[in-house]
Structure 1
């Protein structure tokens, strides 16, 4: 089954990885998704709070949500 822009966002678990791996893995995963698709990123890297929004801004993605979680953060990105 192929993913469409209206499919629910998948969750990409990047917990335990340190900078720059969350951003590098997010970039690679987003390249596989169609334009308009959404992806939740879950991370424990404290620098992700800075790195993920900056990555989205630089690459033209929309950061739809930025939530603090127990032990980390999660981000909803629209490609």
Structure 2
């Protein structure tokens, strides 16, 4: 299931985004810390205005890039997708 990693200033801001866009809460993960998002695979990133003022924004961006690279490397040899 595709997860939406919501990079926001607060969890409330992330919830409001999900509600406004009618995204089920089970598909939304607030990027509260690097630990909360480490190792994610099938995800889309949403960056809200409040995120850019956070002290850990650069660290979170680095983890998201690392997760994406691991996912791409994992699927590099999958011609039709491997489902994982």
For normalisation by structure 1, the TM-score amounts to 0.30
**Higher helix proportion (structure 1 or 2):** 2
TM-score when scaled to structure 2? 0.29
Q: Which has the larger radius of gyration?
A: 2
Of Structure 1 and Structure 2, which has the larger fraction of its residues in strand?
Answer: 1
